[in-house]
A and B are shown apart, each in its own frame.
Chain A
Amino acid sequence: MEKEEKPKGIIVGPLIKLASLPKEGWAGWIVLVGIIIVLSMVIITIIGPFISPYDPNAFHTGPLFAPPSSEHLFGTNHLGQDMLSRVLCGGTTMLQVALLSVTICFIIGVPIGLFSSYIGGNLDKVISLVMDSIYAFPGLVLAIAIAVMLGKGAVNMALSIAVIYIPSYFRIVRSQVLTIKEMAYVEAAKAIGARNRTILARYILPNVIPSIVTVATINFADAILTAAGLTFLGWGVEVDIPDWGWDLYYGRQYISKAWWIIFFPGLMIILLALGFTFIGEGLSELLNPRLREGK
């Protein structure tokens, strides 16, 4: 009989689980590193406004285009804004967009894919057609179109990214379910009298999850980049909200004389995307008992 773990509270329990991740081999390490990166980003973003040395929106906190120095660790931009403060405060939108869009995609894309594929028939054909037509659209263009319709803001950005990504979830889930529902173990589950929802939840979904996690990872990383792209194109958040995307947009003109304006925000974007990628990569290994063997 399996040893039931005693409940250890909402903070200690997960921490113990995190600390035991490296026992699972290198995949565990990768997940741990990813979680540390993402968590530190979240923490930085939350406490950023309190620890930043200057107001991220204040002009002329120092000379224009000041290189990194003890006064301005990450330098200043063309308006004399302090880059360290902007980097510390500029992640909010991106994190919100990334988390929100992945959640929306997951909640909508996965169930539709599961049911459409499991039930099959004409319903499946119609849904596939709709999904494929969305999929055929170039992502950023569609995101811009939706952003233009809905207006600026983090939630709208998340929505437009979700719309682009739902077909990816749907397709992956659908094709996987098509294979898995023909497997002998699904037939065996029917033969023991399992209900359809049990079959979906216990036999099909767990076998699809590793693929979904992979898509979610790419989705996370891409959401961050699309969010940066939307802001860069002027359809993200308002100018007065500090955002790494804005820093990239304005900093790009001065890249030859002031590299630090885009370097530090760019680094943050890459790190965040990398963190999500690590989590996803590691998880897809961990969730497969066969791969987990090869520690």
Chain B
Amino acid sequence: MQVENLKTYYFTKQGVVRAVDNVSFEIYEGETLGLVGESGCGKSTLGFSIMKLIPPPGKIVNGKILFKGKDLVELPENEMRKIRGKRIAMIFQDPMTSLNPLMKIGDHIVETILTHENVTKEEAYTRAKKLLDDLGISRERINDYPHQFSGGMRQRVMIGLALALNPDLIIADEPTTALDVIVEAQILDLMKKLKEAYRLTLILITHNIGIVAEMADKIGVMYAGKLVELSKTLPIFEEPLHPYTEALLDSVPNIKLSEQTLKWIPGSPPNLLNPIKGCRFAPRCKYAEKRCFEEEPKIIEVEKNRFVACHLRG
């Protein structure tokens, strides 16, 4: 899949919020792309844009989302609906509210299968049971209601719903943010296993850089609606090219270092309503030069498969 110059704006009464501004990237089959960034940097909007489920007043104003040769941006709603769930599936942030409280767990999965495939109810049930095995949920719980499940179990079900039709791409929007660390580890473990078993292509949206380090083949760093760095995982951790990526990595607490204080990035992200001229990170950047405030850096390939948007690397 290929995303080209994607722009998703929210047309609010206060003005235009440029939540996703000129973002391009590619993802190949079997790859996992980690999208990291602070809250409000547009990474979730990017995920919803690919699903074409941006709530109004949001709109894709420009760009292409090429998926299996089709441009999703141009695709009419009824065609898009056939892709959702079947070819591209999504895992949501909050498992507690993402399941219909009046539907049994099994019915959720069966419903998902029946929405797209012409199989009998019995067959769908059999598949749902198999899926529960893969998810590490006991088959007997197929007739339980969501409120009888814990948060971690519900997230397993959500992952199952995304996997039910063996989609070509799964977008996981902060799948573990609402869970505690132990359950988080279990869920990530499960996702890793399933990733291999189902040969998944995954876009993993998170603010936790540790998670992408573990899961992703490629990392995209987003800042204020822009993709500022895109590279294979290892090089980014060895040598971050963008000052923001560097600062982000520095802010991860390291148990081995005896430093007492947590490093953080001074200042806060710019208001996306009226973005500043020049590089959006410049006011918080410790290397910022005069040029950074005047001219917006373009994202360029500095090394093979390493893209960065920074004047210092240009």
Contacts and interface: CB of A to CB of B under 8 A. Distances in A.
Judge: A and B partners, yes or no: yes
Interface of A: 1-2, 183-185, 187-195, 198, 202-203, 206-207, 288-290, 293
B111 A185 contact: no
Contacts of B101: 185, 207, 289-290
A191 B147 contact: no
Contacts of A194: 81, 85, 111, 115
B161 to A, nearest CB: 6
A2 B90 CA distance: 28
B122 interface: yes
Contacts of A2: 143
Interface in B159-174: 161
B55 to A, nearest CB: 8
Interface stretch (B17-25, B92-100, B297-305): B92-100
B125 A192 contact: no
A187 B100 contact: no
A187 B89 CA distance: 12
Contact of B81 (A193, A203, A207): A193
B143 A184 contact: no
10 contacts: A192-B84, A192-B111, A193-B83, A193-B85, A193-B116, A198-B115, A206-B100, A207-B101, A289-B102, A290-B147
B209 interface: no
A38 B116 CA distance: 44
Nearest to B128: A1
B97 A192 contact: no
Given A192-B112, A192-B115, A184 B97 contact: yes
Given A185-B98, A191-B51, A202 B143 contact: no
Give the size category of B's interface with A.
20 to 34
Nearest to B122: A1
A193 B115 contact: yes
B90 A207 contact: no
Contacts of A189: 100
Q: Which one of A183, A185, A198, A290 has the highest number of Cβ atoms from chain B below 10 Å of its Cβ?
A: A185
Interface string B74-118: 000000011111100110101001111111000000011001100
Contacts of B92: 184, 187-188, 191
Contacts of B158: 188
Nearest to B126: A1
A284 to B, nearest CB: 13
B16 interface: no
Contacts of A183: 97
Contacts, number: 75
Looking at chain A's contact residues, the main secondary structure is: helix
A190 B53 contact: yes
Given A198-B115, A207-B101, A207-B102, A184 B89 contact: no
Contacts of B98: 184-185, 187-188
Contacts of B51: 191
B67 interface: no
B61 to A, nearest CB: 21
Contacts of A290: 101, 145, 147
A155 to B, nearest CB: 35
Give me the 9 closest cross-chain CB pairs, A-B, nearest first. Answer: A192-B85, A193-B85, A193-B84, A184-B97, A191-B90, A184-B98, A289-B145, A206-B102, A185-B100
A191 B97 contact: no
A293 to B, nearest CB: 8
Interface string B119-156: 00010010000000000000000110101000000000
B94 to A, nearest CB: 6
Contacts of B161: 188, 192
Contact of B125 (A1, A187, A188): A1
A203 B100 contact: yes
Nearest to B82: A193
Contact of A207 (B82, B83, B100, B125): B100
A184 B99 CA distance: 7
B111 A202 contact: yes
B147 to A, nearest CB: 5
Contacts of A207: 100-102
A185 B93 CA distance: 11
Contacts of B85: 191-194
Nearest to A290: B147
A118 to B, nearest CB: 14
Nearest to A287: B102
Contacts of A206: 100, 102-103
A185 B111 CA distance: 13
A195 B79 CA distance: 11
A120 B188 CA distance: 39
A162 B39 CA distance: 50
Nearest to B103: A202
Contacts of B97: 183-185
Given A191-B84, A191-B89, A191-B90, 15 more contacts: A1-B142, A185-B98, A188-B158, A188-B161, A191-B92, A192-B111, A193-B82, A194-B81, A195-B81, A206-B102, A207-B100, A288-B102, A289-B102, A290-B147, A293-B147
